[in-house]
Chains A and B, each alone.
Chain A
Amino acid sequence: MNESTPTADQSAAEAVKAARTPAQPAEKQVAAKNKPSDTAPVLECRDAVISYGSKKAIKGVSLSFTENMITAIIGPSGCGKSTLLRCLNRMNDFIPNIGIEGQILYRGHDLYAPDVDAVEVRRHIGMVFQKPNPFPKTIFQNVAWGPIINGIASKDGRGGKKNLADLVEQSLQKAGLWEEVKDRLHESGLALSGGQQQRLCIARALAMEPDVLLMDEPCSALDPVSTARIEDSMHELKKEYTIVIVTHNMQQAARASDLTAFLVDGELIEFNDTESVFRHPKEKRTEDYVSGRFG
């Protein structure tokens, strides 16, 4: 027996330990916002169990998402990645017989406490969906709608609100779309190409100035060029926001993310910094998955 192959018990214990504490990469600086760096992660799941009726989609997952980092959630189809993601901003509220146990915490506060307003939650935790879904309105109106109805911005920037035009421009710039649409802000959002529409959706989410940005397979419906563009903007965005991205594209996870969580059948198999997960996976299943042997 090889010394480097640990016994079954030891590997299990190590796997659990790896799942609970993500290794902090030495070189990366964690840029804090206007807060003292705290040990509480931005978003955290503790023994989350999510079920549709009697079928369990997520079986006891504990995961934490670190500030200003891109965390990727990967795994084979049907492993519950999107379900988990949607719970993080309470978008699962709209599914009729959803059952959520365990805790999901946002900066230490339970998201599912009875007195929490789900609408307020979504102002801090934004989401970009798999298929681009811009509103059937102009580009400007798409980005401006959220801030206007939430009272964040107004046309002239009075009353303590931001200037709408500035906010729209900044959001489009952050999403990497400004140069392409600055001359046609009043054309329909639906007239854009698929990649542009998805960037419009990103800009729309950013205009709300969220804390966390959840992205549910944002590039799966796009061509490689658009995908590369979005991944580039993600690198810029993580300086200001925390990003959680669900993807079935392993190369994308390897390229774009800092931390990676690997789920199978609703269970967390491994959670570590991306380099470790892909180069030196601790679990056999992880190794099989990332090397393409299954999934």
Chain B
Amino acid sequence: MSEHSPWQHSAENLTRRRRISKIFKYTCISMTVSALVLVAVLILQVFSQGLSPYDYEATPFIVSNENTFVDALTMDQLQAIFSAEGSARKWSDLNSNWPDEYIKIYGFQREYDENAHKFITEKITGDRDGSLKQKDATYFEYPPQVMNALLDSPYAIAYVDPHTYSRNRSRVKALSLDGVAYTPENADSEAYPVTEEKFIFVDWDFLTSPPSSHDAGETGVYIPLIGTLWLVALTALISVPLAIGSAIYLEEYAKQGRISTFIEINISNLAGVPSIVYGILGLAVFYRTFGLGNSVITGALTLSLLILPVVITASREAIRAVPQSLRHAALALGSNRWQAIWYHVLPSALPGVMTGIILSLSRAIGETAPLIIVGAAISVTSAPGGPMSQYSILPLSIYEWSDRQEPGFAEAAAAAIVVLLVVLLLLNGIAIFIRNRYQNKLS
């Protein structure tokens, strides 16, 4: 009689199976973690574009060329002049060699740009919430007004923005501060004391300004954003009813046979066609033959064609998954096919259908190449007002900005990406909310 216990074989088998099971489990976990890490890296990359300034802007402090006595000031002197508690009221207060004239102060304070003003105040007075001198001082809305006022008086001192200064270089001179001259190199190295770091913020201004072609600080995504929203709305309106209707017909009404299988194969194949091919198709059919030109509706129709196969397939799967018992229950109560589908099958299939719609619309939002072909313009002067308007889209702006050399546009592209992601998340959130409500109703 052998010592071999009856459990020995299965014990070995069990250990081996447990080991394989563990390996499998950890492989899956590591796959998931890798995918999440990739996504995290992507998002961090985008957001980190905004962490460092894309440019430095130095504020020139100027006097008119008729002012012969001052070329440079120290920050203390600047503070004495400009600060509300500053002691200097006349030039002679600062330096006995200087004229005994009142110092006229000119500056600008844009109503909508509080931050810029606070920046200057902080640099001058050391306190963001401090105040600038009001006596003998005039603050205008726009730098050119400041420039005009300055040119009238040799005893005035003013601060303007770099742009206005460079336009009037021949008539004024920029003072050095603390021994540092007002030059671009000094600005970039932050040696010049009154230098501002420029960032791109995704703020209300960014969202509501039209794209600017020369200044990244002024640029915004308003027009492409509205264009994208219009496009998505129209695409959804066109493709969703078409897709659901087709899926219902193919699943519920069509006779299962060679023709039905043929259609199914073709739809699956169409889902894999590269998007640019749909662009060319849209150009030929909607742009030219239908004569719709480069309007939003052309883009929407093209995108609808693009996503239709995917939504149809997802809807068919969802409808197929509804158990026959549900249909029979409805039909046995004396309803016709349409009533059974509308009141019972479709609501049951809705979560699956919504998933297909979410995935497809998310893809449609980011499509660029086919839309370029059907005429999404890079620069459009205003947001689309109707289906026949010209339009621009966010992905296109991102592409265009990422290509430009001027400082700040790469960061602006990143900011636009953030906006696109937020729009995407909002849309998905709405769709998921709808889907969850129906799923809760079902269980």
* CB-CB contacts below 8 Å: B241-290 with A: 256
Give the chain A neighbours of B336 by CB distance below 8 A: 119
| Chain A minimum-CB-distance residue to B441 | A136
Give the chain B neighbours of A145 by CB distance below 8 A: 330, 333, 343
Looking at the assembled complex, report how far the CB atom of B435 sits from the nearest CB atom of chain A, in whole angstroms: 15
* CB-CB contacts below 8 Å: B298-336 with A: 323, 325-326, 328-336
B90 located at the interface, meaning its Cβ lies under 8 Å from any Cβ of chain A in the complex: no
CA distance A91 to B332 in the complex (A): 7
Q: Are B334 and A150 in contact (CB under 8 A)?
A: yes
Main secondary structure of the interface of B (DSSP, over half): helix
| Given known contacts A129-B325, A149-B339, A190-B443, A135 and B330 CB-to-CB distance under 8 angstroms | yes
Q: Are B344 and A135 in contact (CB under 8 A)?
A: yes
Q: Are A122 and B326 in contact (CB under 8 A)?
A: no
Give the chain A neighbours of B256 by CB distance below 8 A: 96
A188 touches which of B326, B332, B348, B443 (Cβ 8 Å): B443
Q: Are A135 and B331 in contact (CB under 8 A)?
A: no
User: A142-169 CB contact bits vs B (8 Å, 1 = yes)?
Assistant: 0001100110000000000000000000
Q: Are A126 and B335 in contact (CB under 8 A)?
A: no
Give the chain A neighbours of B334 by CB distance below 8 A: 119-120, 122-123, 126, 146, 150, 208
CA distance A127 to B441 in the complex (A): 25
Q: Are B443 and A201 in contact (CB under 8 A)?
A: no
Q: Are A205 and B333 in contact (CB under 8 A)?
A: yes
Give the chain B neighbours of A131 by CB distance below 8 A: 325
Q: Are A133 and B443 in contact (CB under 8 A)?
A: no
Q: Are B328 and A91 in contact (CB under 8 A)?
A: yes
CA distance A171 to B339 in the complex (A): 22
Interface centre among A120, A133, A208 (most CB of B within 10 A): A133
A248 located at the interface, meaning its Cβ lies under 8 Å from any Cβ of chain B in the complex: no
Looking at the assembled complex, report how far the CB atom of B257 sits from the nearest CB atom of chain A, in whole angstroms: 10
A68 located at the interface, meaning its Cβ lies under 8 Å from any Cβ of chain B in the complex: no
Looking at the assembled complex, report how far the CB atom of A148 sits from the nearest CB atom of chain B, in whole angstroms: 10
B442 located at the interface, meaning its Cβ lies under 8 Å from any Cβ of chain A in the complex: yes
| Chain B minimum-CB-distance residue to A150 | B334
| Chain A minimum-CB-distance residue to B344 | A135
Residue total for A at the interface (Cβ-Cβ under 8 A): 27
CA distance A120 to B335 in the complex (A): 9
User: A88-103 CB contact bits vs B (8 Å, 1 = yes)?
Assistant: 0101001010000000
Q: Are B332 and A135 in contact (CB under 8 A)?
A: no
User: B416-443 CB contact bits vs A (8 Å, 1 = yes)?
Assistant: 0000000000000000000000000111
Give the chain B neighbours of A119 by CB distance below 8 A: 334-336
Q: Are B332 and A122 in contact (CB under 8 A)?
A: yes
Q: Are A205 and B344 in contact (CB under 8 A)?
A: no
Q: Are B442 and A205 in contact (CB under 8 A)?
A: no
CA distance A127 to B333 in the complex (A): 8
| Chain A minimum-CB-distance residue to B336 | A119
Give the chain A neighbours of B325 by CB distance below 8 A: 129, 131, 133
Give the chain B neighbours of A89 by CB distance below 8 A: 332
| Chain A minimum-CB-distance residue to B332 | A127
| Given known contacts A135-B344, A136-B442, A136-B443, A129 and B335 CB-to-CB distance under 8 angstroms | no
Interface centre among A126, A145, A201 (most CB of B within 10 A): A145
CA distance A145 to B347 in the complex (A): 14
| Given known contacts A149-B343, A188-B443, A190-B443, A136 and B335 CB-to-CB distance under 8 angstroms | no
A199 located at the interface, meaning its Cβ lies under 8 Å from any Cβ of chain B in the complex: no
A204 located at the interface, meaning its Cβ lies under 8 Å from any Cβ of chain B in the complex: yes
Give the chain A neighbours of B330 by CB distance below 8 A: 135, 145
Q: Are B328 and A208 in contact (CB under 8 A)?
A: no
* CB-CB contacts below 8 Å: B341-396 with A: 343-344, 347-348
Give the chain B neighbours of A188 by CB distance below 8 A: 443
Looking at the assembled complex, report how far the CB atom of A94 sits from the nearest CB atom of chain B, in whole angstroms: 8
| Chain A minimum-CB-distance residue to B326 | A133
Give the chain A neighbours of B328 by CB distance below 8 A: 91, 94, 129, 133
| Chain A interface (Cβ < 8 Å from any Cβ of B) | 89, 91, 94, 96, 119-120, 122-123, 126-127, 129, 131, 133-137, 145-146, 149-150, 188, 190, 201, 204-205, 208
The 10 closest A-B pairs by CB, nearest first: A123-B334, A146-B333, A127-B332, A133-B325, A122-B334, A136-B442, A133-B329, A119-B336, A149-B339, A150-B334
New A-B contacts (11) at CB < 8 Å, excluding given A136-B347, A145-B343? A120-B334, A122-B333, A129-B332, A131-B325, A133-B323, A133-B325, A135-B329, A136-B442, A146-B335, A205-B332, A205-B333
| Chain B interface (Cβ < 8 Å from any Cβ of A) | 256, 323, 325-326, 328-336, 339, 343-344, 347-348, 441-443
Name 11 interchain pairs, CB-CB below 8 A, sorted by A. A91-B332, A122-B331, A122-B334, A126-B333, A129-B328, A131-B325, A133-B328, A135-B344, A136-B347, A136-B442, A137-B441
